């Protein structure tokens, strides 16, 4: 049973930064691609960023490109999302995911999910 727990969410002013973490337990996800999605109220869950299992390739949604970075530490079974220059449009619940596919830009391609962490950006 894989469990993934996100942390690092919170309330931040526009222009600020947050760093999300997602720690997995139950099995090593070293051979899985990892990803972040987000879901705002009344909207569908959307892709944010992905990183390959080898840690060599990343992929971002156009809306966050240049502002967000994704990284992973396979020894810690953890993936990170560094979010800079945040805007109110980034407000959402952020979910981490693991997938056998890369990049898994569609939720149905993901095998494991975290429970989500709220990010709120005030104007």
Cβ(39)–Cβ(46) below 8 Å: yes
The token pair at 67 is 């502002």
pLDDT band at residue 15 using 50, 70 and 90 as cut-offs:
very high
Q: Report pLDDT for 54.
A: 87
The token pair at 82 is 């560094």
In the chain, the largest separation of any two C-alpha atoms, in whole Å, equals 40
- Can the peptide bond before residue 33 be classed as cis, meaning omega within 30 degrees of 0? no
Mean pLDDT of 88-113: 96
pLDDT (tens digit per residue) in 16-30: 999 999 999 999 999
Q: Report pLDDT for 51.
A: 97
Cβ(79)–Cβ(70) below 8 Å: yes
């Amino acid at each position: 049973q894989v469990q993934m727990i996100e942390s690092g969410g919170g309330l931040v002013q526009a222009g600020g930064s947050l760093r999300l973490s997602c720690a997995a337990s139950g099995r090593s996800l070293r051979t899985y691609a990892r990803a972040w999605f987000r879901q705002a109220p009344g909207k569908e869950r959307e892709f944010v960023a992905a990183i390959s299992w080898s840690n060599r390739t990343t992929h971002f949604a156009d809306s966050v490109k240049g502002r967000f970075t994704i990284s992973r530490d396979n020894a810690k079974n953890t993936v990170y999302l560094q979010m800079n220059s945040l805007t109110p449009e980034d407000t959402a619940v952020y979910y981490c995911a693991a997938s056998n596919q890369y990049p898994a830009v569609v939720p149905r391609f993901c095998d494991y999910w975290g429970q989500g962490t709220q990010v709120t950006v005030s104007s």
